[in-house]
Structure 1
Amino acid sequence: MTDTPSKQSFYSEETIRQSLDEDEASLAHSDDEESGAPTETVSPLGYHVDWMSVIFLNVSRTIGIGVFTTPGTILKGVGSVGLSLIYWVVGFLFSAASLAIYLEYLSYYPKRSGADIAYLEKAYPRPRLFVPALYAFTFVLLSISSSSAIVFAEYIFAALGQETSAWNVRGLAVGMCTFVTLVCMANTKWSLRLSNWIGMIKVVTLVFIAILGIIVLNGGISRVENPGSNFRNAFSGTSTNLNGLANALLKIRFAYVGYENAFSVANEVKDPVPTLKKFAPLSLGIVFILYFMANVAYFATVPKEVIMESHELTASLFFEAIFPNREAVVALQVLVALSSLGSVFASTISASRVVRECGRQGLLPYPHIWASTKPFGTPLAAYALRWFISCVVIVLPPPGDAFNFIVDLQYYPTAVWALLLTVGLYRIRVRRQKAHAPSSAFRVWDSVAAFALAVNIGIMILPWVPPEGGIYGGDVSFFYATYCIVGVVIILLAAFLYWVWFSYLPKRGQYRIRQVVDKLSDGAQALRTVRVPLHALAEWDATHDEHGQLILPTPTSPEGYHD
């Protein structure tokens, strides 16, 4: 929303008081770009994120149901056990390189939560708010927990031995999303604790699977015949199909998504740079070891051909091969459901901060509502919006192609933002070098940044490779790359809306868009857009800074000021 300021408001006492806020002025001066949302030097959300929460926000977000399902999909794509294991290593290396990119951004902007939206704002300050606006539009529209909620509901019913229908699954999925949202709304500390506890259960589960795999390899479980046979000719059957290899690489890429989750709450960490510098890589290392050992356990226990031909969870095949009773399968189903629940907790917490940052940048109507943390010290509006969109996607699309398509829509825009973030880091480096800014607390090796850039470019290209079955041979019944095309269209639609709001309407209305800072009683700050008439534009720009705060004359003596 925009307001039209009166001429008198240019010199209001409130504006003058804001301009004299020394902390904000010094912080803005230290930044390489004064544009963008104001930095909240004291987090209005509190400081509940400790080192353990950093670890498990990442671990819980990354380890969803992928580790139970993806190994079989990867094996089908690459054709051999050996190459499948190499893919998991490659996925780890790429994630580590991307994590280093985030750490360098954090070293520049340690007091900014929101991760991508905050970093894109700094990397691409011109045109004003253009890239952040594109990101905000796609994130708010596509960042949902619907698929994890559906998986949770399906596996709870399976564990209970009850028949499912579209509506009872949807009902339980909506109920789960509602429960998570209410807990997160009510108390940040307890939502983090629940996320941590569920994350610990995930880790213990995968450690248990890894130990079972070691026992199998040593011949300790008689039910498993010929253990480890998959490793004798590990590269036998390696596929030469480009699409299968490409799709497997994409699935590996998204299996590691979540390694950057804690960066969304960076301003809620008391000492963010050293804390995330130490524990974010640790969390990724934990995930990689668990992923790799779980794959070794699966391949040690279940014949390769069975994994490739089965439509069941790879983990289900593993448990069925070791345990003869149904109780073990039920236990696995409960663990998969808990894993989905943990992912929803971790993603809901982080996504709420991203939505809040979108609002703080003035990219959503009524920024003060999104920035506010009253009455519970949590971003209620951001949680409510995410809950609403997730529930709509759960309830409205029919099961099957339509639902899968909507879930897949987020993948291609995510790849676009990852590429822009990597390129943006180079832009920031150049600007800081020209400004003779001091060196940061962390700097990515150039070779690592180049590797991340190359992989991100590859991920932009790979989805367009046609599947082996032709253009209708993908995982939906229609054109295989439809989700890529629609993802691009959504970004273009966001660009069109930006042009309408920031260019077309101002030209027709004879005004220009500027921003002012709103400071709320809870300590939150947000940018609000205002419409400045053309006849007052020169005076506004001459007397206000990037944040719309009045530029006071510099005092030369106790008696007066100079121009």
Structure 2
Amino acid sequence: MSAPDSQQAEPLLSPATDEETASSSSASPLTTAQHARALDADTEPESTPLGRRLGWRSAYIIVLSRVIGTGIFATPGAVVRSAGSVGLSSLLWVLGAVMAACGLAVSLEYGCMLPRSGADKVYLEFTYRRPRFLASTLVAVQMVLMGFTATNCVVFGEYVLYALGVEGAEWATKALAVGLLAAVTVLHGCFLRAGIWLQNVIGWLKIGLIVFMAVTGLVVVLFGHSSAPEEEGEKALPAKPHGQGIWEGSEWGWGIMSTALFKVSYAYAGADNVNYVLNEVKDPVRTLRSVSIAALASCCVFYLILNFAYFAVVPIDEIKETGELVAALFFDKIFGPTLGKVVLPLAVALCAAGNVLVVTFSKSRANQEIARQGFLPFASLLASSRPFGAPLGGMIVHFIPSSLVILVPPSSDVFDFILDVDGYPIQYFALAVCIGLLLLRSRRPDIKRPFKAWLPAVWIRMAICVALIVAPFFPPRDGAGDVSFFYATYALVGIGVMVSGFVYWCVWFRWLPKRRGYQIEETVEVLEDGTSITKLVRIKSK
């Protein structure tokens, strides 16, 4: 291959102005050796124009608010509907906690080893350097197309309408969901400090609500007391749960169990949320090691207590019928139509809004990292933190697919479908990260590892990923899943997204360069706000 001609460098993914072309032409593209050294720099903390403004408490809230979104308020109903029984549902919640702990161990080793924003994107790029650009392209496509936050927006709309006494208004639910997403995008994109303050406040309120619900459930179990008036001829609360019959109705088919496990995994997802924003965390390695473990342990305790409280207060048949409104029914049975049907459901809606704030905060940083490395068009615009000192471009990229996934699916299936389609592709990347961790231990023992994952936890995480990847293709006993269309649709959508990323890589990084006689290299440019971006450029062969 002939030497690169720096006078003929062209931007690859976005149209260039004369100024950009001149900048690219004068810059020296990174050679393969320089590219490797640039990746090795990921083992050191990175400076950022946004500054390190997140302390331990803010990082704890970022994790806790990400994990405790609407998961514990909404998914227990969906899990019971799939699993079919109290016993199997409880078992899946315990298994979900084990899965989350194993996944967190892997993320902690990688995060302490590579303390930079971006999480799996940084880890996969560092580990899988050949074929060049393939890992980056697959991660970029998955994060942009599948990195949405839609379920919490939908639950926000449903709980607000429930509190207002509005039923069957599909358009209203979706309008409230998209409206919340738009408001959060504007807040975080234009008023960064206010957004961080609000998500911290809601995070602490969420902890208070969880503790209140847990204590209330325990009181009901121990004393059978309820402030809700009993209807004539029937008891307001069911009998206390006991061992007999808790497995009745269990759906033991692996296909059905896997969809329930995806929902449980969604409720535990986010324990690695700090990994996405490490550039903005004070003392990132030390903070990451303690805050993630503390937050996940808190969530596990809350989840187990609240599930027990739900089963103690609400009959299982009503949980199945109510679905994602199980927390609202819990409040209604204990506190009656005023406090239970209005005030507390609005509190759950506020918790959902807090989760949207946190997810948007972290996902926009991941999108900014993707733009910084040249895998989005108009990288100079989308990677910049101007004009408000926040990654507004990354938030807009996050807003578009999130809005579409709210508006397109049928309202009756949107919650279950989003949970499944969001969780499936992640298993492929989680498996690749686990394998990569083992490869790096063998190939790069010289890298400093402030935290080292327990090896059995890595293998357990890998086994679970493989099981969940193949599970959707085992048909349910009745031939139908928990949605009104083909039971494996979510898996096919997830695979289709990854295949589209691979096809994109084959065309842009293999076929076109070979056909048109150029090679692709990288140039580095520093924007006016101090953001460093990487531009992919075409270097024509002589």
Pick the TM interval, shorter chain.
0.7 to 0.9
Moved more, 292-301 or 239-248: 239-248
> Structure 1 CA distance, aligned partners of 2:535 and 2:394?
17
* 1:150 Cα deviation from its structure 2 partner: 2.7
Q: What's the % identity of the aligned pairs?
A: 37
Q: Residue type of the partner of 2:354?
A: G
Shift of the alpha carbon at 1:168?
3.4
Match of 1:508 in 2: 515
What's the Cα RMSD here? 3.1
1:6 maps to amino acid: Q
CA contact (8 A) 2:158 2:173 kept: yes
Instruction: Kindly indicate whether the alpha-carbon contact (under 8 Å) linking 2:273 and 2:362 is maintained by their aligned counterparts in 1.
Output: yes
Aligned with residue 143 of structure 2, among 139, 142, 145: 139
State the distance in 2 between where 1:156 and 1:412 align: 29
2:432 counterpart of 1:416: no
Return the letter of the residue paired with 2:261.
L
Decide whether the 8 Å contact of 2:151 with 2:419 is kept in 1: yes
Residue type matched to 2:240 in 1? S
Whether 1:466 aligns to 2:475 is: yes
How far apart in 2 are the matches of 1:34 and 1:250?
34
1:76-101 superposed Cα distances (whole Å, 9 cap, x missing partner): 44454344333222211210111111
Q: Kindly indicate whether residue 71 of structure 2 is the aligned counterpart of residue 53 of structure 1.
A: no
Mapped to 1, the partners of 2:257 and 2:214 lie a distance apart of: 26
Q: Is the 1:5–1:531 Cα contact (8 Å) retained in structure 2?
A: no
State the partner residue of 2:450. Answer: 441
Task: Give the C-alpha shift of residue 40 in structure 1.
Answer: 7.2
In structure 1, the residue matched to 2:501 is 494
1:525 pairs with 500, 521, 532, which one? 532
Task: Answer with 1 or 2: which has the greater Rg.
Answer: 1
1:267 aligns with 2:279: yes
Further displaced range: 167-176 or 120-129 = 167-176
Report the Cα distance in structure 1 between the residues aligned to 2:132 and 2:486, rounded to whole angstroms: 36
Partner secondary structure for residue 128 of structure 1: coil
Match of 1:321 in 2: 333
Point out the more displaced range, 270-279 or 325-334. 325-334
Determine the C-alpha separation between the residues in 2 that align with 1:509 and 1:13. Answer: 19
Deviations 1:305-359 (A, max 9, x none): 5434655732233223222333322123212211221111111011101111111
1:403 & 1:302 partners in 2: Cα distance?
A: 21
Amino acid paired to 1:390: S
- 1:288 matched to 2:262? The reply is no
Query: Which amino acid is the alignment partner of residue 458 of structure 1?
Result: A
What amino acid is the match of 1:183? L
Rounded to whole Å, the distance in 2 between the matches of 1:353 and 1:456 is 26
**Which position in structure 2 is the counterpart of 1:64?**
69
1:84 corresponds to 2:89: yes
- CA distance in 2 between counterparts of 1:496 and 1:81 reads 44
* Alpha carbons of structure 1 residues 206 and 430: separation in structure 2 relative to 1, 3 Å: same
Give 1:550's aligned residue: none
Q: Which amino acid aligns with 2:208?
A: V
Alpha-carbon distance between aligned partners in 1 of 2:437 and 2:175, rounded to the nearest angstrom? 43
Q: What is the TM-score with the length of structure 1 in the denominator? A: 0.84
Letter in 1 for 2:169: S
For 1:99 and 1:415, how far apart are their aligned partners in 2? 14
Is the 2:374–2:533 contact (alpha carbons within 8 Å) kept by the matching residues of 1? yes
8 Å CA contact 2:199–2:358 kept in 1: the answer is yes
Q: Deviations along 1:275-315, whole A, 9 cap, x unmatched?
A: 01001111111111111111121222234454346557322
Structure 2 gaps of 5+ residues are: 10-20
> Distance in 2 between the 1:122 and 1:299 partners?
45
Give how far 1:263 is off: 1.0
Query: Structure 1 stretches of 5 or more lacking a match?
Result: 20-24, 536-563
TM-score with structure 2 length normalisation? 0.87
Aligned pair 1:188/2:200, yes or no?
no
Cα 1:164–1:220, aligned 2, differ >3 Å: closer, same or farther? Answer: closer
**1:464 and 1:13 mapped to 2: Cα distance?**
51
Q: CA deviation at 1:409?
A: 2.9
Amino acid in the other structure paired with 2:467: G
3-state SS in 2 of match to 1:410: helix
Q: Check conservation: 1:118, 1:357, Cα contact below 8 A.
A: no
Does the residue aligned with 1:426 lie in a helix, a strand or coil? helix
Q: SS of the residue aligned with 2:6?
A: coil
The answer (yes or no) to whether the contact 2:202–2:351 under 8 Å persists in 1 is yes
* Equivalent pair of 2:97/2:268 in contact (CA under 8 Å): yes
